[in-house]
Structure 1
Amino acid sequence: MPRIATLRPQAGGGSRPRPRRGGGMLMARALGARKTAWLAAALVWALTANGVAAEDWPTRQPIRVIAPASAGSTSDIMARIVFEQVGRQLGQTVVVENRGGAGTTTGMAAVAKSAPDGYTILVNSTSYVVVASTYAKLPYDPYDDMAGIALLAHFPFVVATSRKYKTLADLVTAGRTQPASLSSGSVGIGSSGHLAIERFLHATKFRATLVPFRGAPEAVTELAAGRLDMYAGVLPNVLELAKAGEINLVAVMSPRRSSLVPDMPTTLEAGYPDADYNFWMGSYLPAKTPRPIIERLNAEVAKALQDDGLKTKIAQLGGEIETMSVGQFNDFIAKERAVNAEIVQLIGYQPQ
């Protein structure tokens, strides 16, 4: 039979309840049950909120895509052609915003600090992993503040020279017989281009004086004028001048030949297996974005990259499309980050 409270007379003529035994324990149990129910409700709410966000995404416009480089750069062009196609697939407006500066870290910080709702996307080159080793301090955490969506394409670097060098052998011979007399253009100290040329020089065992430029057009202009001996960069930056005979292309710095210059040997084929450099473009979101949104975008990007018109545009840029799952891409990022950290250590570069 349940125990109930009884009333006993009080001095003032009234009565007060006499607590039953174990009341404190029952109160604790009640509070514990209430707390458990509250936590369960909160968990359900959180899961439902993420589920709704992912299921309903995208429900508002526009989707903002940040290219952390200037207009006309490879990052900018890829952001536009890939995500405008993704926007058409989703029936959404896509706005590309150029946020260059500080070796692409200005744009990356903007994305890292944005709301993790799938409406702010980053498109960046290998710089995404390079800056973790070349910058002493960043306005965001390069390891934990962003998550990969998808790899977009690889863009082979090439070694371009002034007209006095006809082959890679000519360049290497000159570099070895005239120590430190050659000059090499570099777009940004500590950038992907800088690491690429340093890796090449280390593998071919000669030194060159690095001349920094603000952009590829300036470096290529100096190359064509004969005031610069060599430069390493993506094909679109040098191909037209090479076709016009104003500069020479002597090697592809990738594991395989480029379809744009199929007769040009790779550095591996030329006998320098450690002179290659992997330059690529990828897309990213803030790290706390719900996984279903990341997976959805990965699928939409993969679909966009199968569009024939988009394939043609990327091929004209010298790009080679490769698709990966979200997990595969993030594994790829980790490996590339380690490779570039090794190059930084190899050349003795001190983070700035």
Structure 2
Amino acid sequence: MTGQITRRGLAGLAALGLTASAARAQSWPARPIQLIVPYAPGGTGDVFARLVAEKLRGALGQNLVVENRSGASGTIGTQAVVRAAPDGYTLLFGQTPEIAIARNFLPDVPYDPATDLAPVALVGNAALALVVNAASPYRTVQELVAGAKARPGSLTFASAGTGTPGHFAAETLARRGGAPMVHVPYRGAGPALTDLLGRHVGFFFSGMPAAVPHVREGKLRMLAVSTARRMPSAPDMPTVQEGGIAEFDFSLWGGFFAPAATPAAIIERLNREVNQILRDPAVRDRLVAEGADVRETTPAQFAEFVRGEVTKYGRIITETGVKPA
């Protein structure tokens, strides 16, 4: 009898917990929401995040404050979300580095994306653009590689941080091209682009949304895209593979995450709203025009995508031999 009462008691407590969780989810959001972008303003993730956040404010009926909290290849801002209360009021716009790369690359990363974060919705998957300053003598991948070979160690390349996709793309280009190059890491794509515009570095694998405006203004020159196939938004732009670097395929994706244990009802509401925003022709056209492959996903599909990316970058890290700074 005692055991039966205990089991009933436990079941009752569990039911009360579920009821309380459901009630919180139904009243959400009741106050402003914080969206952390773990990089400096101006990068691809920042462009993606702010474009969707602007529409999400109206859809949720609450202010959504975007905060750029950069450092340590995105892990500082990500850790802040992992530590936040799982109540839907702190979200992350996560990207390839801090989600797919960190656990394979950084031995002391203080979180595990697989258990500490709940995938909400993928926003887009963007090619990286190999860009140089408009005054650079290089107009093709072949010319850039040949120049680096002729003067080993003289050509510098920027990255949004050690261990980012752009860093691995450039290291792969140098390794497979047989052309030693010098890495110059920055705290985000914005500062890297600033120094490329100022001719302080030789080239940069930038997310296309961040680079395209400067290319259109004639300040930067795009030599190639990093994906295996040409992008529909830039069909005349060759791939790095076409420039002679075999099996070269890199991209930068971004999407919404919440702390683990965030109520499923909140995750599902966010997923529906984000996917609805991605159907907006103005949003979709803006993302596609700047080089993004826009995808709608369920939370489960996004989680599966993330697992595949973690596996892929594990192989890339082994191949390049890149170590944390």
Q: Scaled by the length of structure 1, what TM-score is found?
A: 0.82
Segment of structure 1 superposing worse, 227-236 or 165-174:
227-236
Correspondence 1:188 to 2:161: yes
Deviations 1:155-183 (A, max 9, x none): 21011235211212222333344444432
Q: Report if the CA contact (8 A) 1:114-1:120 is conserved.
A: yes
How big is the shift at 1:306? 0.7
Partner of 1:42: 13
- The partner residue of 2:267 within 278, 294, 317 is 294
How big is the shift at 1:150? 0.8
- The partner residue of 1:66 within 36, 43, 61 is 36
Deviations 1:123-180 (A, max 9, x none): 0221222222232212333331101111101121011235211212222333344444
Report the 3-state secondary structure (helix = DSSP H, G, I; strand = E; otherwise coil) of the residue aligned with 1:238.
helix
One-letter code of the match for 1:202?
R
Q: Give aligned pairs, total.
A: 322
How big is the shift at 1:279? 0.8
Deviations 1:235-288 (A, max 9, x none): 244334434545432111013323443310122344434222021111101111
Report the 3-state secondary structure (helix = DSSP H, G, I; strand = E; otherwise coil) of the residue aligned with 2:122.
strand
Partner of 2:69: 99
In the alignment, the residues of structure 2 paired with residue 185 and residue 37 of structure 1 have an alpha-carbon distance, to the nearest angstrom, of: 61
One-letter code of the match for 1:53?
R
**Taking structure 1 as reference, are residues 241 and 296 closer, same or farther at Cα in structure 2, changes over 3 Å only?**
closer
- The partner residue of 1:280 within 228, 250, 253 is 253
Deviations 1:184-229 (A, max 9, x none): 2223222232122112323333321222334445544554565533
Correspondence 1:33 to 2:12: no
In the alignment, the residues of structure 2 paired with residue 223 and residue 301 of structure 1 have an alpha-carbon distance, to the nearest angstrom, of: 33
- The partner residue of 1:238 within 211, 227, 230 is 211
**Taking structure 1 as reference, are residues 316 and 61 closer, same or farther at Cα in structure 2, changes over 3 Å only?**
farther
One-letter code of the match for 1:34?
I
Partner of 2:317: 344
In the alignment, the residues of structure 2 paired with residue 49 and residue 34 of structure 1 have an alpha-carbon distance, to the nearest angstrom, of: 22
Q: Report if the CA contact (8 A) 1:199-1:276 is conserved.
A: no
- The partner residue of 1:255 within 217, 228, 236 is 228
Which structure has the higher relative contact order (CA within 8 Å, separation 6+)? 2
In the alignment, the residues of structure 1 paired with residue 249 and residue 309 of structure 2 have an alpha-carbon distance, to the nearest angstrom, of: 13
Segment of structure 1 superposing worse, 245-254 or 324-333:
245-254
One-letter code of the match for 2:227?
S
How big is the shift at 1:340? 1.5
Partner of 1:75: 45
**Taking structure 1 as reference, are residues 240 and 299 closer, same or farther at Cα in structure 2, changes over 3 Å only?**
closer
Partner of 2:121: 150
Partner of 1:172: 145
Correspondence 1:212 to 2:212: no
One-letter code of the match for 2:304?
D
Correspondence 1:160 to 2:160: no
In the alignment, the residues of structure 1 paired with residue 237 and residue 46 of structure 2 have an alpha-carbon distance, to the nearest angstrom, of: 27
Unpaired runs of 5+ residues, structure 2, are none
How big is the shift at 1:60? 0.8
- The partner residue of 2:111 within 140, 145, 161 is 140
Report the 3-state secondary structure (helix = DSSP H, G, I; strand = E; otherwise coil) of the residue aligned with 1:206.
coil
In the alignment, the residues of structure 2 paired with residue 67 and residue 189 of structure 1 have an alpha-carbon distance, to the nearest angstrom, of: 17
Report the 3-state secondary structure (helix = DSSP H, G, I; strand = E; otherwise coil) of the residue aligned with 2:13.
helix
Partner of 2:299: 326
Q: Report if the CA contact (8 A) 1:199-1:274 is conserved.
A: no
In the alignment, the residues of structure 1 paired with residue 146 and residue 278 of structure 2 have an alpha-carbon distance, to the nearest angstrom, of: 42
In the alignment, the residues of structure 2 paired with residue 143 and residue 325 of structure 1 have an alpha-carbon distance, to the nearest angstrom, of: 16
Q: Report if the CA contact (8 A) 1:186-1:213 is conserved.
A: yes
Unpaired runs of 5+ residues, structure 1, are 1-29
Partner of 1:87: 57
**Taking structure 1 as reference, are residues 314 and 244 closer, same or farther at Cα in structure 2, changes over 3 Å only?**
closer
How big is the shift at 1:96? 1.7
**Taking structure 1 as reference, are residues 150 and 240 closer, same or farther at Cα in structure 2, changes over 3 Å only?**
closer
Q: Report if the CA contact (8 A) 1:200-1:274 is conserved.
A: no
